[in-house]
Structure 1
Amino acid sequence: MKDAFVTSVNTALSATAYFNELSLNAFNMDTPGYRQKNIFFSDFINGANMEDRHEWKTFQGKAIPGRSDTNMMIEGKGYFAVRKTDGSLLYTRLGDFTFDKDGTLVNELGYKVQGYLTNEKGEIVNTGATQINPGGSPNNPSHRQGGSGHLPTTEINMWVDPTNGKFFGKYEEFKVKADGTLMGVAEKGKVSVPLYKVAVVGFVNPGKMTRVEEYYYLPNNDSGMPVEGSGEVRSGVIEKSNVYLREQVNYLQFAKLQIEVAQKLINTNKQLLQESVRLLQ
């Protein structure tokens, strides 16, 4: 009886934890940049450490309108690289980018979007930066490298000349090509000059990356280190969450049923225990 009672309690606790994790996925179904977490009831029953057991869905989320042309999304498996104020690199699908007061392309948290300098042919210019470990401290404050197989990156700066309101004093506007090249546009569209290329990096197994902030990830041994990624960059849109709601609702119903069954077993065991105590009196 004791074993049955303990099993029922453990099942109820596991099902509740499972339900809560599923609810977090469902809650974020409309959150841009959110990646669905793979969750298995067996992990909870077996007592797995859910902080260690992480796996993210990597399929494409839908495109939704952004607030400006600086907002971007990747169509494909790549990730944007952003650098925090402490110099560490993070990787994300969330392209909520904008230019700050200094003309640097940043996200809403102020993390600097990483890219590559290009020449007038659109070819990446190797800045000669030294390599650092992803998430580590940079050796060079301006141009840094994001990991094995990853070309040196730099921040993307499009300063505006206050005397004429133009980028670099000569470009009236900018546009982003599908390959991530940021073009300076002049003479009412007659002249387009490559200036930067937004960094898009990939991983062997991106679903295994470690989530360190809600939409930001670090590579590990399971995911592999960052390499030059694939995917097209779209401007003026951002990626919606890739949560598959119907699947999550089905799992939530299953979790709810497990909780109800476990609770009934707990009540039954309590009644049997009370009856046994009464008979012994």
Structure 2
Amino acid sequence: MTTAAMHIARTGLDAQDTRMRVISNNLANVNTTGFKRDRAAFETLAYQTVTSPGAQSTQETQYATGLNLGTGVRVQGTARIDTQGSMQITGNSLDMALDGDGYFQVQLPGGELGYTRAGNFSRSPEGLLVTSEGYQVMPGITVPEGATAITIGLDGTVSATVPGQSAAQQLGQIQVAAFPNGAGLLATGDNYLRETAASGAANLGVPGQDGRGQVRQGQLEASNVNVVEELVDMIETQRAYEVNSKMISATDDMLKYVNQNI
């Protein structure tokens, strides 16, 4: 008697443990601005072919189905679900949310570019539009000292009333980055994603054009995590983990019986 069933159940434990970690991260970020939930994808491990379909069973007949034995499961990867989160009104003139596809572009330390859906921006001492960590939003926009009535249009145009001038002055325009494969962006923490070979190069453009989302001033995009859905997935994962654990126990009992009675 082999221990194949025990090893297969072990792969199930590993896979469900990884899925539980993904669900746990989703629930932990339920209140994270602009967070997109992840989903674990599974795939089968290699099959052991004992009898191939169509192989000769006798000189005159062939097997109709064959005999293939699976060797388990593993997590193929995690897919980010980029559905739109709900809009939360903050009233802060420098808070922005993207209503649609795309990402804000931010210059990270070392000159590398990062991309985010979190638009909780503020103004640096030099007047630059920056993230909460102080990273500059690209392309750079400078808000003059004493500027009032800051407005941001749906197309990302930033305007303000500057001291000494009666009419509003245009300060710049927020641009939105689009990618051929947004799912290929690499999550690095702090709400930032980075470009990879899988995502393709960033294509900057005007918000609201060519499929890019519009900019909503005074709002932030909430996480797209559905707590009820995640709890259901958590229960399902827990039950699958328990079943695989019981399979190991059952196989161990069978091996013990064979050793003691045969």
**Unaligned runs of at least 5 residues, structure 1:** 116-154, 161-165
Q: Deviations over 1:197-250 (max 9, x none)?
A: 012111122122111224211222332211134221111111111123343333
Give 1:11's aligned residue. 12
Aligned residue for 1:75? 99
- Residue 270 of structure 1 aligns with which residue? 252
CA change 1:61–1:173 in 2 (3 A) is: same
Q: Distance in 2 between matches of 1:84 and 1:67?
A: 27
Instruction: Give 5+ residue unaligned stretches, structure 2.
Output: 46-71, 206-211
Q: Which runs of 4+ in 1 moved over 4 A?
A: 186-190
Q: 2:151 aligns with which of 158, 175, 183?
A: 175
C-alpha spacing 1:211/1:43, structure 2 compared with 1 (3 Å): farther
Structure 1 contact 54–210 (Cα < 8 Å) conserved: no
Alignment partner of 1:231 out of 194, 213, 216: 213
Classify the secondary structure of the residue corresponding to 1:47.
strand
Cα separation, 2, equivalents of 1:207 and 1:186: 41
Distance 1:102 1:190 in 2: 23
1:110-167 deviations in Å (ceiling 9; x for gaps):
110113xxxxxxxxxxxxxxxxxxxxxxxxxxxxxxxxxxxxxxx222131xxxxx23
Seen in structure 2, the aligned counterparts of structure 1 residues 42 and 189 have a Cα distance that, compared at 3 Å, is farther
Relative to structure 1, the CA distance from residue 206 to residue 239 in structure 2 (aligned partners, 3 Å threshold; closer, same or farther) is same
Residue 64 of structure 1 and its aligned partner are, at CA, apart by 1.5
Identity %: 24
Matched residue count: 229
Q: Could you state the TM-score of these two structures normalised by the residue count of structure 2?
A: 0.79
Determine if contact 1:180/1:197 at 8 Å carries over to the other structure.
Answer: yes
Q: Would you say 1:110 and 2:134 are equivalent positions?
A: yes
Change (3 A) 1:188 1:263: farther
Greater radius of gyration (CA): 2
Equivalent-residue separation in structure 2 for 1:93 and 1:156 (angstroms): 18
Does 1:202 find its partner at 2:178?
yes
Alignment of 1:139-154 (within 5 A): none
Alignment partner of 1:47 out of 74, 77, 83: 74
**RMSD of aligned Cα (Å):** 2.4
